[in-house]
Amino acid sequence: MIEGRFAELIAGQRQGVLVTLRKDGWPQLSNVNYAWYPEEQIIRVSTTDDRAKTSNMRRDPRVSFHVTSGDFWSYVVVDGQAELSAVARDPHDAAVEELVGLYRAVQGDHPDWDDYRAAMVRDRRLVVRLRAERAYGMVHRG
């Protein structure tokens, strides 16, 4: 379980930096929106099948995720293994259902769910599930 002060910071934000490993071993950083699911200890991110970060995670699922407070002085880094959902292929498949749940967790309600579902298939979206194995950082109380 991620320590309470770290979990609170993760839960209080919606934007973070996903760090994957390139073929040559160098890190690749991507700014992303995310949702934290504390009961599962999972961070979920929506991405497309053609992104470099997706290829990186297929090759090497070790990832880190950086979240900072609004004032920049508190932060947490979560390390873990990335799991990738199937790529969305039908507006009502399991991948799209998970993307709908993720959208709701990050943004709330969508004005046109049919259009959203079609876009997930058209864009070849999938969900990254980062299972939090450990966390470190600094959270200032104040």
Domain that includes residue 63, residue range: 4-138
Query: Tens of pLDDT along 119-136?
Result: 999 999 999 999 999 999
- How confident is the prediction for the chain on average, in pLDDT? 97
What's this model's pTM, rounded to 2 decimal places? 0.95
Structural domain total, the chain: 1
Task: Using DSSP, state whether 122 is helix, strand or coil.
Answer: helix
Query: Tens of pLDDT along 20-51?
Result: 999 999 999 999 999 999 999 999 999 999 99
CATH number of the domain at 125, please: 2.30.110.10
CB–CB of 6/139 below 8 Å? yes
